[in-house]
Structure 1
Amino acid sequence: MPSPNSAPLEWYDLLAEDAINNIDRYNLNLDLDRTSFSRRQSPVAEAANIDPQLQSPRTGEGVSSSSQEQWNSIKNIPLAEDELVLFQHYVNVIGPILDLCDPSEQFTATVPGLAVHNVGLMKSLLAVAARHMALMHEPQLQQPNLDGQTPSSNAGNSVPLASPLIQLATQYYYETLHYLSQNLLYPSYSKSREIIATSILISTYEMWDSGGQYSNGAWERHLRGIFWIQRAQNNNGECKDPLRRAAWWQWIRQDTWVAFREHRRVLTIWRPTKRLMDLSPDELALRIVYICGRCVDFAANERKYDINTRIEQGGKLLQALEDWYRALPASFQPIHRVPLPESGALFAPIWIHPPSYAAAIQTFHFARIVAVINQPSMGGIDDFRVRQRLLDESVETICGITMMHQDNDLSSAMVNFQALYAAGLCVQSPVKQNAVLRILEKTLEITKFPPKTLLNDLADYWGAES
């Protein structure tokens, strides 16, 4: 574990190592010198001058607030016309995805305001916007990347980038790293809100650039680096600063999915202090994300304990999930259920509003499926019936909520595909398996992430179980 002072530097070293390797590997035609990614080797004073290429000119005196920081620009950073398009895409599309369960909308409302005064944050914002637009508009160019590193391309081949949007995104990504290399040793910057927001946007960029392959990949490795920064800044799910709190929840969402897919533990060591009864509805919607992480931890520890211990651990998690569900106010209940049509459909659409509460229910059922299928059983028909009832209920709810969102709700779809994948793990009937697969395929058409290799994973799982 890096020290608090070195955590941002250790994280950057992970980024820079992969970035430098990829310049040759993917024949990147970037307007940057690879030596620009070598961070300064000695501390710098707060009053030292920053590379003028990395900062907008500072004018005026006697300003207050964070604009006084040497690594911030007092005037708004000017945007070219094409950059404005990317900025608007971030505000209108990406921010709402990140803010799905945050009523204060930190990534939509606060981060853009910080970005117009910080070059590093602005470059990361433009990078993630361009990369997401490439996913939305040019899906035929997306190919699995076996190393999960930037940029998307066939692993091992030295080929130019196929998409202009991907090339633009990659340029902004590397410019972000260049900025970091020049500014991380400013103590105030390494502890700032700007760097934690930048780290989340970089991670989101890498998530969409990963091609769904996380083993030894950049996204998975760099999530660990963000964990170090969170620890160094004492960020957690209950800290007072709303941006730091929102960044922590967004990070743990990403890390929980990667941990689930990689069969490892979630990286956080934080434990909530507030009781369920003291949480607001919005806080309850976030608490289930934490409990879900504990269920993923349980699945990762499958071989470490004897069967009786595993049964006891699983029982405690299922009780924690039940306690959370019973603490929910009526606003988490469906406001409309569509009756099953006569055509023989297996699942009925379920509408829960607002979408953040629907996402919480999806996460609850995802977590419950993970806990149930990883909890050993001593056998017996009664135990089997209880477990099967829980799994059937979760599958029906997950599919019902997803079907209600399948028109254009991109933010919800980013949660729905994870729940659908878990639902597929516990469906045994070939008819239901095909139904889940069709719903998941439609959801992936909305998110464009992860790639449809996720469908193959489910099919392979069913084949191995048959």
Structure 2
Amino acid sequence: MPPRTGMNKPRKPRPSRARGLRTTTGCLTCRKRRVKCDEGKPRCRQCTKSERGCVYGQSTDVTATAALSEQDTPQQSTSPAQATASVVAESPTTRKSIAGDIDPQLFVDSPELRFDLSPLTLTTSLPSPNSAPFEWYDLLAEDAINNIQKHNLGFDQMCLSRRQSPVPDEHNFDPRLQSPERETFVQEPWRSPEAIPLNDDQLSLFQHFVSSVGPILDLFDPLKQFSNAVPRLAINNVGLLRSLLAVAARHLALHSDAQQSSINVQTPGSNISESGLHSPLLEAATQYYYETLHYLSQNLLYPSYTKSSEIISTAILISTYEMFDSSGRYSDGGWERHLRGIFWIQRSQDNNGESKDGLRRGAWWTWLRQDIWVAFRESRRTLTIWRPTKRLVDLTPDELATRIVYICARCVDFAANEKHYDLSIRIDQGDKLLQALDDWYHILPPSFQPIYSLPMAESGLFAPIWIHPPSYAAAIQMFHFARIVVLINQPSLGGMHAFRQRQRFLDESVETICGIAIMHVHQGRDSPSAFANYQALYAAGLCVQTPVKQSAILQLLEKTLNVTKFPPKTLLDDLASYWRAES
């Protein structure tokens, strides 16, 4: 009998369940969930249906999927921040970071994109977009009128009253003027067609602004808008020019001896001999400040002006003037109140940290940096309610530098005196912030690494650290400032392990902050960087306990304040008082 067909035919080997049946295609999210993916681009059907982030890997290796699965189940003894760092270190190599090789695709979302908005700004009544510039000006004028007699500049307070004449007929305005993209192409009644002439003293102040004040404001801005674009706008706008001269003179007054100053502005109505001001530079600064307010009172009636780059630039310069003019206690001064007014204008213009217009974007970050310091010192929440939309993996190195400013603002919110939440909620909030900080740090490219540093054994108490460019050094300072703020305000359930881990993080932040600050002090008068260093040094001082380190930080902070001249050296007394209270 012939054999049956196929009886002795060898069977085809079955693929291993561990290899052949496991898919190596599809998005990482579906592979992590172990569901079938239709590989739709840019977003597959499963992720669209479940509203999940849809990310495709650059490798067919299943290691990425395993890493994603492990991210949700860290070991019991590992903190969330450490778990993320561990996953990052073990993932496929597609991008080099400051902490090693990482796969940016693993960062499907960034924690800071989900932070709660600030209740302070949500519960505070906000003016309408059209009235925001007027509300802001009224705050300025009210405080200026209260101080007008003290300055004795010959100003009549009626000069600060807002012009109430009707707005010119609509047919005289092009509706395109409401669009920021078109405003520079149309001649405006409030914009001079020719460059405004400057006398010798004004030219000196103008040059000081470009060389010294602009770089302070531009520390995180690679386009250097306040050093480059704002001066060009100012030569065709009287109000912006006056505010520029005001802040330049006020900054010079902080650094110069009044008796040695060669700048002595005599404007009509000024009376230096009878004025309560003791410095010609301070006299000039105050005079220009009031002239700026007078200009605003006359030109706010133009709708195109209230939407312009000139008014937001003027607002930032006025705020900077008031920052230099403040005594260090902000809750009873104009600077803190006027920051809120700038917040209203920013909202009315729809400006934020991702605005396409470089000047508006730069102005927003500059305003937030000022508000962070005031909010921190006054134990209040920051004013911003904007939330970034870009993920960490989508940011350029310069954008990563500014992202830490936003995360820092959220950390200052956490430290505010609104601590009525129960213990578990506060701990959870702190963990989320620490996770966001950790994610930011571990995705940094190598350009944020030190160019030069000394081993601790060779350098004494703190090892000098040099990071270049300065904006990246400032970003690292803000990272450690923010981490200290969270750690010293986050409750703890106790335990020796948790205590040691927290102390290790604090010690690391103190050493880095002081190392960067030491390098800047040795390099000379680096004013822009010093404005990041003094904040970080003050925070470092809050978490050191040994007299030796306290003395070293106090000396470093004093040298830094000698460069910035802001805030006043009463900040040293505040830190010393804090140590006495804690001892």
Superposition TM-score, scaled by structure 1 size? 0.90
Residue in structure 2 matched with residue 178 of structure 1 by the alignment: 294
Alignment counterpart, residue 14 of structure 1, candidates 139, 145, 155: 139
Question: Is the counterpart of residue 368 in structure 1 residue 487 in structure 2?
Answer: no
Aligned residues of 1:362 and 1:415 also touching (Cα < 8 A): yes
CA distances 1:414-456 after superposition (whole Å, capped 9, x unpaired): 1100000000000011111111001000000111111110000
**Residues 417, 443 of structure 1: 8 Å contact kept:** yes
After TM superposition, give the deviation of residue 340 of structure 1 in Å. 4.2
Q: Which moves more between the two structures, 130-139 or 388-397?
A: 130-139
Percent sequence identity over matched residues?
71
Asked if the contact 1:302–1:374 (Cα under 8 Å) also holds between the matched residues in 2, the reply is no
Separation in 2, partners of 1:438, 1:47: 61
Tell me, yes or no, if the aligned pair for 1:4 and 1:231 is still in contact at 8 Å: yes
| Aligned counterparts, 1:406-445, within 5 A | 406=521, 407-445=524-562
* SS of match in other structure, 2:574: helix
Question: How far apart, CA to CA, are the structure 2 residues paired with 1:341 and 1:408?
Answer: 27
Cross-structure match for 1:109:
228
**Aligned equivalents of 1:207 and 1:102: distance in 2?**
20
Which residue is equivalent to 1:37?
160
Q: Which residue is 2:108 aligned to?
A: none
Q: CA deviation at 1:138?
A: 3.1
Greater share of helix: 1
Q: Is the 8 A contact 1:67 1:117 kept in 2?
A: no
Task: Map residues 285-324 of structure 1 onto 2, 5 A cutoff.
Answer: 285-324=401-440
Distance of 1:139 and 1:271 partners within structure 2: 45
**Structure 1 201/84 Cα, relative in aligned 2: closer, same or farther at 3 Å?**
same
Name the CA distance, whole Å, in 2 between partners of 1:436 and 1:260: 19
Unmatched segments (≥5 aa) in structure 1: 50-63, 142-157
Once residues 85 and 3 of structure 1 are traced to their aligned partners in structure 2, the CA distance between those partners, rounded to angstroms, is: 40
Distance 1:409 1:220 in 2: 26
**Is 2:249 the partner of 1:133?**
no
Provide, for residues 294-331 of structure 1, a one-character-per-residue CA deviation record: whole Å limited to 9, x for no partner.
00000015522011100000000000000000110000
Q: CA deviation at 1:381?
A: 0.2
| Superposition map of 1:198-237 within 5 A | 198-237=314-353
Cα distance, 1:44 vs. partner? 1.4
Residue in 2 aligned with 1:76?
A: 195
Task: Give the CA deviation at 1:29.
Answer: 2.8
CA shift at 1:216, angstroms? Answer: 2.0
Structure 1 residues 215, 11: CA separation in 2 closer, same or farther (over 3 Å shift)? same
How far the C-alpha of 1:215 sits from its partner, in A, is 1.4
Aligned length: 433
Instruction: Tell me what 1:399 maps to.
Output: 514
Give the direction of change, closer, same or farther, for the CA distance of 1:302–1:4 in structure 2 (3 Å limit).
Answer: closer
How far apart are residue 41 of structure 1 and its match?
Answer: 2.8
Deviation track 1:375-421 (CA, whole Å, cap 9, x = no partner) reads 00000000000100000000000000001101211110011000000
Equivalent runs, 1:220-259 vs 2, <5 Å: 220-259=336-375
Q: Is the 1:71–1:189 contact (alpha carbons within 8 Å) kept by the matching residues of 2? A: yes
Measure, in 1, the Cα distance between the counterparts of 2:251 and 2:423.
44
| CA apart distance, 1:43 | 3.9
The answer to whether the 8 A contact 1:333-1:352 is kept is: yes
The residue type paired with residue 402 of structure 1 is A
**Alpha carbons 1:39, 1:181 under 8 Å: kept:** yes
Return the offset for 1:65.
Answer: 3.9
> Which stretches of structure 1, 4 residues or longer, exceed 6 Å deviation after superposition?
46-49
Q: Output the amino acid matched with 2:516.
A: I
Cα offsets for 1:148-191 (capped at 9, x unmatched): xxxxxxxxxx9710111001000000000000000012100001
AA aligned to 1:464 is A
**Alpha carbons 2:258, 2:280 under 8 Å: kept:** no
Distance (Å, rounded) in 2 between the aligned partners of 1:357 and 1:130 = 29
Determine if contact 2:250/2:281 at 8 Å carries over to the other structure: yes
Whether the 8 Å contact between 1:285 and 1:356 is mirrored in structure 2 is yes
Preserved CA contact (<8 Å) 1:67 1:74: no
Deviation (angstroms), 1:339: 3.5
Matching of residues 186-201 of structure 1 within 5 Å: 186-201=302-317
Give distance in 1, aligned partners of 2:499 and 2:259. 44
Whole-angstrom CA distance in 2 between matches of 1:302 and 1:3: 27
In structure 2, the residue matched to 1:266 is: 382
Contact (CA 8 Å) 1:124, 1:176: kept in 2 or not?
yes
The one-character-per-residue Cα deviations of 1:169-214 (angstroms, maximum 9, x if unpaired) are 0000000000000001210000100000000000000000002120
